[in-house]
Structure 1
């Protein structure tokens, strides 16, 4: 199987041999269309010297496409049966399989260091996985991920869009993102009831002058009550509406504006100005997250 991409018959035969039934809990929808795999590998903009990081390789469909395109592939798989079986399906010397949770991996675990994230991500954890890996792996220069189409729209939305929110701003902190195409349900087993979307991103230098966690606290507060003006939405974060207004004016932003109209640079300016004037705080002890963090 190492010399050819997997089609529908091979996927089902392999799953049956391993006793694997796709589970919704792990977000398992296995790719079985060679043309889609070739399309993903081509759209990722990979270089021969790249080190690809794949999250959720499953039965190895995309992995087979990646190992011939890059110098090395790190495949992170949480399902122990799939992790154990992958080297038998993808018999390549440039593959390292990590039986791990992608939300808990650390940079020191990968040698050589990953340079590109290319993955068909489980729908239920797509946003936190992308943001966590960009934070943990500074060697990533970019990537291409397949996610639920609705999530792809959120990740690539700009200020003023109805779907612009927490994922949009936080990804923009790390990278320039763009939509890279739609993927129909028919190329998966089992077939999801929604379309998928490809998101391509290229890392850039993040805004300077303030810690990321301080900026993300402002973003979370602004979108937790996205229908309110920033003066009202940031009141809890700032310690009062008047203090929120002070921070906004210092950043050159109207207190009557809403979070959906601000760029990541403007959120950074709010956090930076607040830090200088002693305004601002952290998320509540409950740790609750706004709806837009859901993947």
Structure 2
């Protein structure tokens, strides 16, 4: 069950957000050297985290999932507005320090925080309080600064694992945000775009300056917003994703050729494509997720 809504208004508990000085002091105290391997670029600008929370639109009916809370900059901004924050952190040093940071800077909000030390690529619904009796329980929104090197697989894994996730706002590499939100027919449209479209509608929600991070990343960042929707087909997701992967593995080829390996031959691929109502000479970037599902359903036995 979701946590009971808490009162909201001018009298709400507040938290003291982290600025550049506080972020570096925390890192020094923990002996932390940010690593590229874990995608550690920490936000140190209070205005940026306020903007992220405001854009996400979460409120006291939401249980928010935050992946990679790091030193707690975004966590401290989420706690005053959400019913609960589930923080998933792979680094045990950061995970162990987060509760203390919240206790120091937002003592009235400690009971809203749940910390799980885990790899977000492998975290399970059960670890986040979701049971078979109530699969829609647990996190309802994800708001996170995702590690850029694994942002796409993390987001797809969480959407698959947590059916109760309804909305999200994630900070990712700008190029990744473009790909994830890209519509069919655009240059950026690819397998990540199609797979995300299975779960949700997505859109770009603005840029994020490099200067708000420590250390400063070598790439631009952006916000990606999404809203979950019904799957476009009853065809099993794994079968649809197999078509997506095969099609984009050879995206420069017409689907008749690109899907030959998947179907068994070019002729079999053409038969499936025509059955799905798709021109065999179409390329992958012209097909939406419903079209890929129709192709999967038409695969020869």
Any conservation in 1 of the 2:141–2:165 contact (CA below 8 Å)?
A: yes
Residue 283 of structure 1 corresponds to which residue in structure 2?
none
Residue 27 of structure 1 corresponds to which residue in structure 2?
39
Residue 246 of structure 2 corresponds to which residue in structure 1?
221
**TM-superposed deviation, 1:69:** 1.1
Any conservation in 2 of the 1:215–1:267 contact (CA below 8 Å)?
A: yes
1:9 aligns with one of 18, 21, 26: 21
Indicate whether 1:189 and 2:207 are aligned: no
**TM-superposed deviation, 1:47:** 2.2
1:212 aligns with one of 229, 233, 237: 237
**TM-superposed deviation, 1:273:** 1.6
If the length of structure 2 is used for normalisation, what is the TM-score?
Answer: 0.90
Any conservation in 2 of the 1:226–1:260 contact (CA below 8 Å)?
A: yes
Indicate whether 1:157 and 2:182 are aligned: yes
In the TM superposition, 1:263-278 aligns within 5 A as: 263-274=288-299, 277-278=300-301
1:81-120, Cα deviation, whole Å (9 max, x unpaired): 0000000111211001101001111111123600001100
1:21 is paired with a residue whose SS is: coil
If the length of structure 1 is used for normalisation, what is the TM-score?
Answer: 0.92
**TM-superposed deviation, 1:142:** 1.2
Q: What is the distance in 2 between the residues matched to 1:190 and 1:225?
A: 37
Indicate whether 1:146 and 2:158 are aligned: no
Q: What is the distance in 2 between the residues matched to 1:238 and 1:206?
A: 23
Any conservation in 2 of the 1:120–1:147 contact (CA below 8 Å)?
A: yes
Indicate whether 1:37 and 2:62 are aligned: no
Residue 136 of structure 1 corresponds to which residue in structure 2?
161
Any conservation in 2 of the 1:149–1:197 contact (CA below 8 Å)?
A: yes
Any conservation in 2 of the 1:209–1:272 contact (CA below 8 Å)?
A: no
Residue 126 of structure 1 corresponds to which residue in structure 2?
151
2:127 aligns with one of 98, 109, 118: 109
Following TM superposition, the consecutive aligned residue runs of length 4 or more in structure 1 with deviations greater than 3 angstroms are none
Q: Which runs of 5+ in 1 are unaligned?
A: 279-295
2:195 aligns with one of 167, 170, 176: 170
The alignment of Structure 1 onto Structure 2 pairs a total of residues equal to 275
